[in-house]
A and B are shown apart, each in its own frame.
Chain A
């Protein structure tokens, strides 16, 4: 079968019953898309298909033939190809806001956020939370992740971005301290 991934067409030999996630990871070596639950429950396998975020563990590779697939590996090159500099702004914001601990959810989170911003350049906080509601994170508590995306919106609007947790006025003060 032929799959177009991150702008390149790959000639792939895989059985009909393989999912897109399996082909990405075990045929193309693109292991940035994570195999978490393998049943639609976690969002770690999220990729963009024709610009929309989708769960690659619940799409057969054969179903994805003829469509444009973007994985986390393709995001930075795509940004450069569009005339940007450095990493994709979402990747950069996740970095600056420390929006990860183990990182397992990160590629899916970033792609869901990218799809949102491509469609809605200036989303509300509620729209951001809703767009990321299909990506679970078991580590961060979500705050830094939401703030990372909010910071991109703030920058575009020319307003003050959210303060990062370690810069907050109450740093050093723990629960119960006065």
Chain B
């Protein structure tokens, strides 16, 4: 049973923003992550502010510049099946299709997917750890097989979103509305490392709502993909995942963007891999250098060194599929 809270469904965005100003309310998108957190007492809320009636936050539209705007309330399933997303922004379609289960993809929204809370079992359990305002990270010396190999300390979560790395390699930005108006942030800069602030995952401030995700135009030479490795064949978070976006020019990589899931507290942009690829034809030697670049700065925890090998293998598999 969920703890007691009240529920409101404002009819306008302004109303939603002002309802959230008290700091004791939480945004409710699809609720699939939020209700789990409330049930497990990860945090409390006096009131849930549902975005459900804000029709303007739902749907996928082509923009004047040839890009795409996806409303934050759009269901993950709708994104996975959308024709334009599948043909032009394949990494996003593949990432959306790999989220959770068919039912949860119908319920979960893109905004909620980007703002979801980490899955660290201490955090979700009865441990008052650093991320909940305590003074210890229980994972550091504990069961850390599903924790990070990059960007850790003082907390070692991995960011759970599949869509975020895909959106980052596609150059997406988020549109945010709050008490001080509207701002637009490149998605990559939306996420916060624990060393900067251990109690938050994003730069969202009090009362702020993600309203849309903007994708720049995708040129005809863009090839993108997302592949996720998980412990079960379906319905599981990434052990490691790789989003890849390449601009190819007669077999030569004109531009490359790579981001990993499952390995860091934020979707992890792999610039070292990108610079290995840029200007090259993808052959055995380049693949091998990219594999090394992917893991050269990894610092695994006592129980997750397997992720280093998994990541090397994943980079090899993805690049070999293009070579």
Contact with B along A51-81 (1 / 0, CB 8 A): 0111100111011000000000000000000
Chain B, Cβ-Cβ closest to A64: B52
With beta carbons under 8 angstroms apart, the residue of B3, B31, B100, B102 that contacts A130 is B102
For B, the interface residue count at a CB cutoff of 8 angstroms equals 28
Number of residue pairs spanning A and B whose beta carbons lie under 8 angstroms apart: 77
Most buried by B among A18, A39, A134: A134
Question: Which residues from 204 to 258 on chain B have a C-beta closer than 8 Å to any C-beta of chain A?
Answer: 233-235
Most buried by A among B1, B52, B101: B101
Give every chain A residue within 8 A of B7 (Cβ-Cβ): 16-17, 60, 62
With beta carbons under 8 angstroms apart, the residue of B31, B48, B101 that contacts A134 is B101
Most buried by B among A22, A40, A52, A54: A40
A43 at the interface (CB under 8 A from B): yes
Contact, CB under 8 Å: B31 / A54:
no
A133 at the interface (CB under 8 A from B): yes
A91 at the interface (CB under 8 A from B): no
Contact, CB under 8 Å: B31 / A53:
no
Which listed segment binds A: B32-40, B167-175, B188-196? B32-40
Q: Is the interface of A mostly helix, strand, loop or mixed?
A: mixed
With beta carbons under 8 angstroms apart, the residue of B35, B50, B106 that contacts A54 is B106
Contact, CB under 8 Å: B35 / A60:
yes
**Quick one: given A16-B5, A17-B3, A133-B101, are A58 and B106 in contact (CB under 8 Å)?**
no
With beta carbons under 8 angstroms apart, the residue of A18, A43, A49, A60 that contacts B31 is A60
Contact, CB under 8 Å: B36 / A58:
yes
Q: How far is the CA of A133 from the CA of B98 in the complex (A)?
A: 11
Contact, CB under 8 Å: A39 / B235:
no
CB distance from B58 to the nearest CB of A (A): 13
**Quick one: given A58-B31, A133-B235, are A39 and B103 in contact (CB under 8 Å)?**
no
CB distance from B62 to the nearest CB of A (A): 25
Contact, CB under 8 Å: A55 / B32:
yes
Give every chain B residue within 8 A of A131 (Cβ-Cβ): 102
Task: Sort chain A's interface into a size bin.
Answer: 20 to 34
With beta carbons under 8 angstroms apart, the residue of A15, A53, A55, A134 that contacts B4 is A15
With beta carbons under 8 angstroms apart, the residue of A15, A49, A55, A62 that contacts B104 is A55
**Quick one: given A38-B39, A40-B32, A59-B31, are A19 and B101 in contact (CB under 8 Å)?**
no
CB distance from B124 to the nearest CB of A (A): 10
B6 at the interface (CB under 8 A from A): yes
CB distance from B202 to the nearest CB of A (A): 22
Contact, CB under 8 Å: A63 / B234:
no
CB distance from B146 to the nearest CB of A (A): 16
Give every chain B residue within 8 A of A59 (Cβ-Cβ): 31, 107
**Quick one: given A54-B107, A134-B235, are A16 and B31 in contact (CB under 8 Å)?**
no
A151 at the interface (CB under 8 A from B): no
CB distance from B226 to the nearest CB of A (A): 17
**Quick one: given A55-B32, A58-B35, are A63 and B50 in contact (CB under 8 Å)?**
yes
A33 at the interface (CB under 8 A from B): no
CB distance from B99 to the nearest CB of A (A): 11
Chain A, Cβ-Cβ closest to B50: A63
With beta carbons under 8 angstroms apart, the residue of A17, A112, A130 that contacts B103 is A112
Q: How far is the CA of A16 from the CA of B3 in the complex (A)?
A: 10
Q: How far is the CA of A134 from the CA of B232 in the complex (A)?
A: 12
A106 at the interface (CB under 8 A from B): no
- Pull 13 A–B residue pairs with CB atoms less than 8 Å apart, ordered by A: A15-B4, A16-B48, A38-B39, A40-B104, A43-B103, A52-B77, A58-B32, A60-B31, A62-B7, A63-B31, A133-B102, A133-B235, A134-B235
Other 6 A-B pairs with CB < 8 A, given A16-B6, A39-B39: A17-B3, A22-B1, A40-B101, A54-B106, A58-B36, A60-B28
Residues on A lying within 8 angstroms of B by beta carbon are: 15-19, 22, 38-40, 43, 46, 49, 52-55, 58-60, 62-63, 112, 130-131, 133-134
Ordered nearest first, which 4 A-B pairs have the shortest CB separation?
A134-B101, A133-B234, A16-B7, A17-B2
